[in-house]
């Protein structure tokens, strides 16, 4: 198998998805399932006094909207719902509806908006999703039957709330792409057994930094100081003769 082909495959499949270009279906025009006479009267009496096209208190005008079809302007009625749920509107000092009217209006708006949104759900913006390090290692194993220590090849993944596989958290920077390309080059060399791959060194034992190097060590020739017998085979052989 061609190494360049393998490297291209390994470098490309770490991206799990792409931004969808399929246009989103349009929601059908909402139709009220039941008369909203009481709800419309409550909005007219308690809300439109301040929130109308003339005063536009808070930048909001409700006199031109139909409470019977709130899904037609769901973004506006969602703002109204936030104020109603917290009891922030009408403001203090203004006439306020009773609890039953409050609950009826909230229930009507929530139910009608949810019913209209049900057939055409909006999951939000589709993000570019890539594989994290663990998923990448699993994909390498499934594709090439290689167990690769990706911790030595790739940087750690960001996490949020304990999860490291969220598309919004897994960024794709130019530096990260270079790391994945470098990893793909090394993995492809292992997959096809390229003889040109350079021999890599590995540290088996490292002398502690606080170990003294001043005194003579048994087993080494007289006049030598410091070191470690097993790290100097020639000296060990000389000492044994």
Q: What tens digit of pLDDT does each residue of 192-239 get? A: 876 565 656 666 666 666 666 666 667 777 766 665 554 444 444 444
Q: Into how many domains does the chain fold?
A: 3
Same domain, 42 and 11: no
pLDDT on residue 190: 83
Residue 201 lies in a domain: no
Mark which of 73, 91, 117 sits at the end of a domain: 117
Same domain, 7 and 65: no
Residue 126 contacts residue 19 (beta carbons within 8 Å): yes
Residue 87 lies in a domain: yes
State which residues form the domain around 42.
37-117
pLDDT on residue 32: 44
The residue among 128, 133, 123, 125 whose CA lies nearest residue 164 is: 133
Question: How many of the other CB atoms lie within 10 Å of CB of 154?
Answer: 19
Residue 154 lies in a domain: yes
Same domain, 133 and 176: yes
Mark which of 93, 117, 141 sits at the end of a domain: 117
Same domain, 94 and 47: yes
Residue 199 lies in a domain: no
Q: Which residues pair with 130 in a beta bridge?
A: 15
Residue 81 lies in a domain: yes
Cα–Cα distances (Å) from 61 to 36, 46, 48, 64, 82, in that order, read 19, 13, 7, 7, 16
Same domain, 110 and 56: yes
Side-chain half-sphere CA neighbours of 228 within 13 A: 9
Same domain, 111 and 181: no
126-183: pLDDT as tens digits: 667 788 888 889 989 998 888 888 888 888 888 888 888 877 778 788 888 888 888 8
- pLDDT > 70: percent of the chain: 65
The residue among 223, 222, 221 whose CA lies nearest residue 234 is: 221
105-132: pLDDT as tens digits: 888 888 888 888 777 777 677 667 788 8
Same domain, 42 and 112: yes
Question: How many of the other CB atoms lie within 10 Å of CB of 175?
Answer: 7
Same domain, 136 and 110: no
pLDDT on residue 146: 87
Average pLDDT of 23-44?
Answer: 61
Question: How many of the other CB atoms lie within 10 Å of CB of 110?
Answer: 16
pLDDT on residue 1: 55
Question: What's the rounded Cα separation, in Å, for the pair 238 and 233?
Answer: 9
Cis peptide bond N-terminal to 95, omega within 30: no
Residue 29 lies in a domain: no
Residues contacting residue 26 through CB under 8 Å, at least 6 positions apart: 120
- pLDDT > 90: percent of the chain: 0
Residue 27 lies in a domain: no
pLDDT on residue 66: 82
Same domain, 83 and 133: no
Same domain, 113 and 41: yes
The residue among 174, 178, 179, 164 whose CA lies nearest residue 131 is: 164
């Amino acid at each position: 198998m061609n190494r360049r082909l393998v490297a291209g495959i390994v470098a490309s499949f770490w991206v799990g998805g792409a931004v969808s270009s399929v246009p989103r279906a349009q929601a059908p025009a909402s139709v009220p399932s039941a008369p909203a006479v009481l709800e419309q009267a409550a909005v007219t009496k308690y809300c439109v006094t301040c929130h109308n096209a003339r005063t536009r208190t808070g930048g909001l005008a409700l006199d031109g909207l139909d409470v019977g079809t709130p899904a037609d302007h769901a973004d506006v009625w969602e703002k109204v719902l936030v104020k109603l749920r917290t009891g922030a509107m009408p403001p203090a000092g203004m006439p306020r509806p009773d609890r039953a009217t409050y609950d009826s209006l909230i229930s009507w708006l929530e139910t009608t908006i949810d019913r209209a949104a049900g057939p055409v759900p909006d999951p939000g913006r589709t993000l570019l999703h890539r594989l994290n390090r663990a998923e990448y290692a699993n994909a390498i194993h499934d594709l090439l039957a290689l167990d690769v220590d990706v911790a030595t090849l790739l940087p750690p993944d960001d996490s949020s709330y304990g999860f490291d596989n969220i598309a919004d958290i897994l960024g794709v920077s130019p530096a990260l792409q270079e790391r994945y390309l470098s990893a793909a080059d090394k993995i492809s060399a292992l997959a096809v057994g390229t003889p040109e791959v350079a021999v890599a060194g590995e540290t088996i034992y490292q002398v502690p930094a606080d170990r003294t190097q001043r005194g003579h060590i048994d087993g080494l020739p007289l006049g030598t100081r410091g070191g470690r017998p097993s790290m100097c085979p020639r000296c060990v052989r000389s000492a044994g003769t």
